[in-house]
Amino acid sequence: MRRRGDFHDAVELLEQASGKEPDNPRLRLQLGRALLQAGETGRAVNELLAARERAPGLADIRLHLAVAFLRDGRVDEARSELQTIGPRLADDPMYQRLREELLP
């Protein structure tokens, strides 16, 4: 299992890349994921919101945003993201687990 400290180098590299391409939603998604792994939930939420703003139709961004919202205690917002995803990620284990936990 990786320790949170292992992700700080990834965060630094992704911040540099995102700084060069601030409108790239995939880079912002990866940065948000790395921030989550590094335990920086608030910053992760901000990056994932920025990614969603740039690519609202990408279900994987919304899935990771739901995870970040949940870790930040924002259950209603996590639930809303999952509902928006709908069946697009029906086979994804993370989506299935969150759906079972948050949606009736």
Q: How many domains is the chain partitioned into structurally?
A: 1
Q: Does 3 have pLDDT greater than 60?
A: no
What are the phi and psi torsion angles at 59 (to 5°)?
Answer: -65, -35
Q: Does 2 have pLDDT greater than 70?
A: no
Residue-range definition of the domain harbouring residue 9: 4-102
Mean pLDDT of 70-84: 95
Residue corresponding to tokens 């608030």: 42
Position 8 scores a pLDDT of 84
Position 81 scores a pLDDT of 95
**Residue 50's CATH number:** 1.25.40.10
Interacting residues of 27 by C-beta distance below 8 A, sequence separation 6+:
14, 17, 18, 21
What are the phi and psi torsion angles at 60 (to 5°)?
Answer: -65, -30
